[in-house]
Amino acid sequence: MKVYISATLKNFFERNSVIDVPKKNIRDILTFLTDEYAESKKVLFDAEENLRSFVQIYAGDENRTDRVFWDTELAEDTDVLLLPAIAGGAPVESIIPDERRKAVSFDDSEVERFGRHLLLKDIGVKGQKRIKAARVVVVGAGALGSPVIQYLAAAGVGTIKVIDFDDVSPENLQSQVLHTSRDLKRPKVASAKDKVRNINRNINFEAENIKLEADNIVAEIDGYDIVVDCTDNYKTRYLINDACVICGIPLVFGAIYQFEGQVGIFNLNHGPCYRCQFPAPPEAGLVPTCSEGGAISPLPGIIGSIQANEVLKLIIGIGEHLDGKLLVVDSLNLRSKILKVRKNNNCPICGGNAVITKVEDFDYEEFCGLKEVEEEIPVEGFTPEELAKRIENGDLMTLVDVREPHERAIMRFPNAIVIPIGQLARRKNELNPEIDTIFICREGKRSILAINTLREAGYAGPMYNLKGGIEAMKDIIFSHEGAWL
């Protein structure tokens, strides 16, 4: 069997993306993989030997995550996919009511502008009126939001609300084509508003420069037709999903990481939600986000364009769409696959006995692993200023860099030992337990995971993380050039 490993998991499989496994059922395949790649067991299974909730297993296009399928012999040449959170059929009718469609009219300039749509049999005048009557929320004006916002505006979506609380920074310009160098330090929603005005001044554009939280998300999306998830973090992703279920709004989801992307439609006509596919996110730091792991520039254009296409099909009421499906795209190896997503009757938000009934009543920090568990020994750390002072003083210590190779190429500590998280347990003997060991990552999250990983492996030496990660060290100035590269 060929087992395909998603990019977010490759570090635990010695960076292999495809592994030939001489086994014929899921249980034996997983045993083989965890025996051959010892570090993979931590990411695939928890302490009780249960498969982690953010990992799904597919055989062909069938979800085989449930243990009841693990002993079933697979057909010869079946491809198996380990799919982590990164993170259908034809509609019967448009999600836009006829009353709203009939209330819309076009002037001569709009007839000329949308002529190519009006000529399409599947769109025509009725379809274009539905587009103009639609009210869409786009959460995130970054890499995925850039193509989504521009294509929805170009298509003539009547009301577009964009929610984002970030400002434009230089590293955004590589893939966030909505923004230019003139927009640096401006709120992303302000930049987006200018671009949409240049595309189509007839659009009602609503810019919300806020951070979505449990106490404001329902008010921000309620009354809209579709929500498009263009975010890059797990906390907001689950927050959006739950709010959409509670408000009864379909969600067009997209996610990217390095060369891979995912697109799906959730909560359409009481169909599966995002939690049905991924009941829980990985613990903080276990799997890097897009902002930590990067993505090739055209990838968000590919995934975001597909998201915009799905939005328009839902508005118009045409074609086959991704409801109950997940499209997985591998741009590096030019592979794509559509996987089935089944409704989970035990889902805590959309199942038959839902336990989550109000967004504001749910503790997302705890659910997403962002709260420190009380039983855990707290992880101590140094601020960038404190670490810089120790470096200046020549204090005896070991620096361990757990970042990806491409991250270290951008900014590095010259004397740091490089040990990826997946190798820490077996390489713990390279560390000196008699002196302090400081762990370094991009934002200070993976370094905490690294310390807890070594604690579980029995390492007893003093360990500290760099608070805020290497991002927080960028403005530190050393008195001698050799201290920092």
Phi, psi of 60 (to 5 degrees): 65, -125
Listing DSSP states for 359-375 in one string gives GGGS-HHHHTT-SPPTT
d(C-alpha 479, C-alpha 413), whole Å = 15
Looking only at the bridges linking them, the beta strands covering 79-84 and 135-139 are unpaired
144-172 exposure pattern, b = at least 16 Cβ within 10 A, e = fewer: bbbbbbbbbbebbbbbbbbbbeebbeeeb
d(C-alpha 122, C-alpha 316), whole Å = 8
**Structure-block tokens of residue 369:** 């692993």
Range with top average pLDDT, 4-8, 131-135, 175-179: 131-135
Nearest in space to 465 (alpha carbons), one of 372, 366, 392, 367: 372
Phi-psi region of 412 (alpha: psi -120 to 50; beta: other; left: phi over 0): beta
Rounded to the nearest 10°, the torsion over CA 185, 190, 191, 193 is 180
Phi-psi region of 269 (alpha: psi -120 to 50; beta: other; left: phi over 0): left
Catalytic residue among 244, 290, 350, 368: 290
The pTM of this model reads 0.67
Cα 179 versus chain centre, distance: 21
pLDDT value, residue 411? 66
Mean pLDDT confidence for 56-63? 86
**E strands in 197-331:** 204-208, 226-229, 251-257, 260-266, 325-330
Segment 252-300, tens digit of pLDDT: 999 998 889 999 999 998 899 999 888 877 665 555 554 555 678 899 9
d(C-alpha 278, C-alpha 2), whole Å = 23
Catalytic residue among 244, 273, 276, 441: 441
Asked about 276 being catalytic, the answer comes back as: no
pLDDT value, residue 140? 93
Segment 298-356, tens digit of pLDDT: 999 999 999 999 999 999 999 888 998 999 999 988 889 898 888 888 888 888 787 87
Q: Given pLDDT bands bounded at 50, 70 and 90, which one contains residue 365?
A: low
**Domains plus CATH for the chain?**
2-84 (3.10.20.30), 134-367 (3.40.50.720), 381-483 (3.40.250.10)
Q: Report the range of poorest mean pLDDT among 5-14, 230-239, 402-411.
A: 402-411
Segment 366-388, tens digit of pLDDT: 655 545 444 456 788 888 888 88
pLDDT value, residue 289? 53
Helix (H, G, I), strand (E, B) or coil at 225: coil
**Better-predicted residue by pLDDT, 406 or 17:** 17
pLDDT value, residue 91? 47
Kindly tell me if the per-residue pLDDT of 364 is higher than 80. Answer: no
pLDDT value, residue 374? 42
- Supply the angle between the helices 298-316 and 124-133 in degrees, to the nearest 10: 110
Asked about 230 being catalytic, the answer comes back as: no
Three-state SS string over 91-154 comes to CCCCCCCHHHHHCCCCCHHHHHHCHHHHCCCCCHHHHHHHHHHCEEEEECCCCCHHHHHHHHHH
Q: List residues bridging with 11 in a β-sheet.
A: none
d(C-alpha 441, C-alpha 466), whole Å = 8
**Structure-block tokens of residue 306:** 């597909």
Segment 429-473, tens digit of pLDDT: 899 999 999 998 888 888 888 888 888 888 989 999 988 888 887
